């Protein structure tokens, strides 16, 4: 999971606690659409943990289950209905400089500065599979600092998601962008089953 965002920010007042925040924050508990970055209130605001502008800081609110999916290995679904725009879970792992990951792993042509590696440590997000027609989207969130390269990465519902439907997001690989240690292009078939499936993850 990588973020390659760069963006100039404008300081405005938080609508809830009136502290200065970069750019207007989302007013409400759900996110309507993906943005470059969402600014939430954090430890530097005076508003406290109950502030509505901390939508992704409440931990996992749904009963998520890891299950076995045909041809894809482990997968994740929710026992509860998830409304469109709701934060589902943060993508947790070890933050690495992308160039360090490359030394012992596959290479990508466009490499961002940092990546979150959930291979050795992470949460349930590491079991969420790719789909070409996903029901989650990836959103960068800043709250306790303003360094976009170190934003938290949170998965939000892109749709109303009924119970037991597999949760998926678009891994976002460009085709032929992943290379093996031998320098050859690596290909991985996609089994998401979407009508417009690209047939390959990368």
Ligand X SMILES: C[S@@+](CC[C@H](N)C(=O)[O-])C[C@H]1O[C@@H](n2cnc3c(N)ncnc32)[C@H](O)[C@@H]1O
Question: Where does this chain bind ligand X (CB under 6 A)?
Answer: 72-75, 126-127, 129-131, 190-192, 201
Spatial distance between the Cα atoms of 95 and 60, rounded to a whole number of angstroms: 21
Give CA separation, 13 vs 19, 84, 148, in Å.
Answer: 5, 27, 19
SS3 of residue 202 by DSSP = coil
- Which residue's beta carbon is nearest to the bound ligand X? 73
Decide whether 77 or 126 has the Cβ nearer to ligand X.
126
- Taking alpha carbons only, the member of 41, 42, 38 closest to residue 16 is 41
- What is the closest distance, in whole angstroms, from the C-beta atom of residue 72 to ligand X in the complex? 4
- What is the closest distance, in whole angstroms, from the C-beta atom of residue 130 to ligand X in the complex? 4
Decide whether 62 or 127 has the Cβ nearer to ligand X.
127
Decide whether 53 or 135 has the Cβ nearer to ligand X.
135
What is the dihedral sign for C-alpha 105, 94, 7, 175?
positive
Decide whether 74 or 81 has the Cβ nearer to ligand X.
74
- What is the closest distance, in whole angstroms, from the C-beta atom of residue 181 to ligand X in the complex? 16
Spatial distance between the Cα atoms of 91 and 59, rounded to a whole number of angstroms: 11
- Taking alpha carbons only, the member of 82, 90, 178, 166 closest to residue 128 is 166
Answer yes or no: are the C-beta atoms of 30 and 38 closer than 8 Å. Answer: no
- What is the closest distance, in whole angstroms, from the C-beta atom of residue 127 to ligand X in the complex? 5
Decide whether 114 or 127 has the Cβ nearer to ligand X.
127
- What is the closest distance, in whole angstroms, from the C-beta atom of residue 33 to ligand X in the complex? 23
């Amino acid at each position: 999971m990588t973020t390659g965002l760069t963006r100039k920010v404008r300081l405005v007042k938080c609508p809830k606690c009136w502290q200065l925040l970069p750019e207007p924050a989302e007013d409400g508990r759900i996110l309507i659409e993906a943005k470059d970055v969402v600014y939430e209130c954090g430890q530097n605001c005076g508003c406290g943990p109950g502030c509505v502008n901390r939508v992704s800081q409440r931990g996992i609110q749904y009963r998520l289950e890891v299950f076995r999916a045909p041809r894809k290995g482990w997968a994740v679904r929710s026992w509860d209905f998830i409304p469109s725009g709701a934060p589902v879970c943060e993508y947790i792992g070890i933050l690495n400089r992308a160039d360090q990951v490359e030394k012992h792993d596959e290479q990508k042509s466009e490499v961002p500065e940092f990546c979150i590696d959930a291979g050795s440590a992470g949460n349930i997000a590491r079991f969420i599979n790719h789909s070409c027609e996903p029901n989650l989207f990836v959103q960068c969130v800043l709250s306790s600092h303003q360094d976009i390269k170190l934003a938290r990465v949170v998965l939000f519902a892109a749709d109303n998601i009924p119970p037991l439907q597999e949760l998926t997001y678009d891994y976002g690989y460009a085709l032929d962008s992943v290379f093996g240690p031998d320098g050859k292009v690596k290909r991985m078939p996609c089994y998401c089953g979407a009508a417009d499936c690209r047939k390959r993850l990368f």
